């Protein structure tokens, strides 16, 4: 089973945790130099050593992946926008069946390790990515400087190269207009916070140079704990003190459960209210596993990939309504 369909700790608030490490090889030019010979060399080195890494990882030439699959991987955050857009004839992905480990080869950085896990799992993702990094470092020579740490063409990635990210569902903080306070507070602590549709927020560490992997990991943990506590309190407050919230949850569930079409511009906000209803015990028909499927298969390219059809041949709004009904009633 793919990692994003599994249950996780504190998954009422934390959708998933991700650890990322950027690395480059010594004695080859950075990819920003656009040297195709060196890019090919990096590609061949990573292809050769993949079987030695373990974890059931497979080396896949990026150019052999169809566009629908690429966009589905992008939707699921398994590849980054930077990697998707970076022009290189020797790009590859090293990935396992669960898709919880994904290594991007020959983006702006030559090697980007990513480890994912549902829920609040920064300890687990950090431990696994460091373990993977140590295995890789025994097989290749990294570009490293005693003073600055691991080197990169991107100044933001020099040093440890580690970035910790947590994706959160925060309808309580957002509806009560407390999200700005949270954003200001985390920014003052050197953490970035970005907003997406459907009350989804992503917080990430920014300090990489002049610190350690342990310090980076520890810097985000109390922030996550505080956000979880406040979000849960505000959800309970909304249900107790705002008459319309429960009605809105039930109406939005009705749209998802009974509509023949669910529009692209509305589905994320509908799902946000339904998820809050599930997490508060208002919608008992949907368990956490079903909610994970709803979150995943409502996205257009991932839905088309699941159906095995070209997205241009689909009425995606109709198919979205159909698959969500199937998930709810199964």
Q: Which fold has domain 3-233?
A: Creatine Kinase; Chain A, domain 2 (3.30.590)
The pLDDT value given to residue 32: 84
Q: In this structure, how many other beta carbons lie within 10 angstroms of the beta carbon of residue 43?
A: 21
16-66: per-residue pLDDT in tens? Answer: 999 999 999 999 999 888 889 999 999 999 999 999 999 999 999 999 999
pLDDT of residue 34: 81
Q: Rg (Cα) of the chain, in Å, rounded? A: 21
Beta strand spans in the chain (E)? 14-23, 58-61, 92-95, 101-105, 111-118, 144-145, 149-150, 162-169, 191-196, 200-205
Q: For residue 156, how many other CB atoms are within 10 A of its CB?
A: 13
pTM of the prediction?
Answer: 0.94
Domain edges within the chain: 3-233, 243-329
pLDDT tens-place string over residues 180-235: 999 999 998 889 999 999 999 999 999 878 888 999 999 999 999 999 999 999 99
Average pLDDT score, the chain: 94
User: Helix (H, G, I), strand (E, B), or coil: what is residue 9?
Assistant: coil
Kindly report, residue by residue over 129-162, the tens digit of the pLDDT.
999 999 999 999 999 999 999 999 998 899 999 9
**pLDDT, position 262:** 96
């Amino acid at each position: 089973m793919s990692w994003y369909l599994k249950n996780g700790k504190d998954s009422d608030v934390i959708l998933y945790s991700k650890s990322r490490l950027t690395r480059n090889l010594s004695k080859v030019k950075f990819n920003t130099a656009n040297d195709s010979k060196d890019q090919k060399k990096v590609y061949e080195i990573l292809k050769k050593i993949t079987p030695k890494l373990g974890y059931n990882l497979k080396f896949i030439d990026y150019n052999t992946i169809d566009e629908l699959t690429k966009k589905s991987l992008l939707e699921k955050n398994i590849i980054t926008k930077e990697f998707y857009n970076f022009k290189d004839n020797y790009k590859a992905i090293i990935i396992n069946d669960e898709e919880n480990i994904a290594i991007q080869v020959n983006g702006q950085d030559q090697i980007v390790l990513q480890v994912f896990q549902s829920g609040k799992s920064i300890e687990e993702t950090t431990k696994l990515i460091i373990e993977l990094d140590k295995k890789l470092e025994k097989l290749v020579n990294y570009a490293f400087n005693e003073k600055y740490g691991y080197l990169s063409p991107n100044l933001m990635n020099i040093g440890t190269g580690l970035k910790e990210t947590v994706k959160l569902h925060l309808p309580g903080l957002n509806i009560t207009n407390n999200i700005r306070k949270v954003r200001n507070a985390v920014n003052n602590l050197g953490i970035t916070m970005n907003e997406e549709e459907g009350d989804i927020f992503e917080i990430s560490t920014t300090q990489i140079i002049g610190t350690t992997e342990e310090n980076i990991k520890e810097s985000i943990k109390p922030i996550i704990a505080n956000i979880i506590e406040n979000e849960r309190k505000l959800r309970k407050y909304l249900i107790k003190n705002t008459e319309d919230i429960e009605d809105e949850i039930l109406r939005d569930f009705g749209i998802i459960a009974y509509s023949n079409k669910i529009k692209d511009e509305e589905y994320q906000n509908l799902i946000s209210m339904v998820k809050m209803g599930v997490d508060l015990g208002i919608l008992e028909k949907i368990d956490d596993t079903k909610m994970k499927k709803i979150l995943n298969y409502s996205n257009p390219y991932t839905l088309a990939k699941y159906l095995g059809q070209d997205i241009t041949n689909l009425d995606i709004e109709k198919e979205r309504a159909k698959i969500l009904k199937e998930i709810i009633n199964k």
